């Protein structure tokens, strides 16, 4: 993040904190506002919130990571989540994972440069008898093969 971007973000967060009041009980609405605007709450934003509310950054981080909907990184338009739990693993998850990584040219935990795809692992989502399974945003895909997984990605518009 550039220095000018940081100071713009600082000014913005200062404005939000002034609006809500700089007390700890306003932490959640303040974080929610940042999330709504940016789609994620960066480490720098967390530090700034902590500084302005005079609380420890670990406390802010704890709140951000407690709520599954709060993201700490910028993410792609399509969040691809591949199940890593045992049934899907035994059904061939590894081959799917490698094929997807090759296709998108990123590793799990990363986002493509064009911000189209983010790749993550998830735990069992109850489709164990139909694995390997993955979730792309809200849609579940089952009985994957490497080829099928790539086709699904190619169809994401
Ligand atoms: S193990 Fe993958 S959905 Fe259950």
Domain match, 13 and 61 both: yes
Domain of 22: which CATH number?
1.10.10
Question: What average pLDDT values come out for the chain (157 residues) when binned by 10 residues?
Answer: 80 96 95 89 94 96 82 84 96 97 95 92 93 93 97 91
Domain stops at, among 46, 66, 86: 66
- Looking at the structure, tell me whether residues 55 and 106 fall in a common domain: no
Of 11, 45, 66, the one marking the end of a domain is 66
Give the range of the structural domain holding residue 50, as residue numbers without chain letter.
Answer: 3-66
CB under 6 Å to ligand 1: residues?
83, 85-88, 124-128, 131, 133
Return the closest-CA partner of residue 119 out of 132, 106, 131. Answer: 106
Is 73 domain-assigned? Answer: no
Question: How much distance in Å is there from the Cα of 135 to the middle of ligand 1?
Answer: 11
Same domain, yes or no, for 82 and 132? yes
Q: Are residues 89 and 131 in the same domain?
A: yes
Within a domain: 71: no
| pTM, to two decimals | 0.67
Q: Is 140 found in the same domain as 83? A: yes
How many structural domains comprise the chain? 2
Q: Which tokens go with 128? A: 């164990």
Locate the DSSP E strands across 41-115: 78-83
d(CA 116, CA 95): 22
Pocket test for ligand 1, best of 81, 82, 84, 88 (most atoms within 8 A of CB): 88
**pLDDT in the model for residue 44:** 94
- The per-residue pLDDT for 68 is 67
């Amino acid at each position: 993040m550039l220095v000018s971007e940081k100071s713009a973000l600082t000014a913005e967060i200062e404005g939000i904190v002034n609006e809500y009041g700089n007390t700890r009980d306003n932490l959640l609405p303040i974080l929610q506002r940042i999330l709504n605007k940016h789609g994620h709450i960066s480490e720098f934003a967390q530090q700034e919130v902590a500084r302005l509310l005079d609380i420890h950054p670990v406390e802010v981080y704890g709140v951000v990571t407690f709520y599954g909907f709060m993201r700490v990184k910028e993410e792609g338009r399509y969040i691809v989540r591949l199940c890593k739990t045992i049934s899907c693993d035994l059904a061939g998850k590894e081959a799917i994972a490698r094929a997807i990584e090759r296709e998108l040219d990123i590793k799990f935990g990363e986002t493509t440069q064009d911000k189209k795809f983010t790749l993550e692992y998830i735990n069992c989502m109850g489709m164990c008898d139909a694995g390997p399974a993955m979730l792309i945003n809200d849609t579940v895909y089952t009985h994957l093969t490497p080829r099928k997984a790539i086709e699904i990605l190619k169809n994401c518009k």
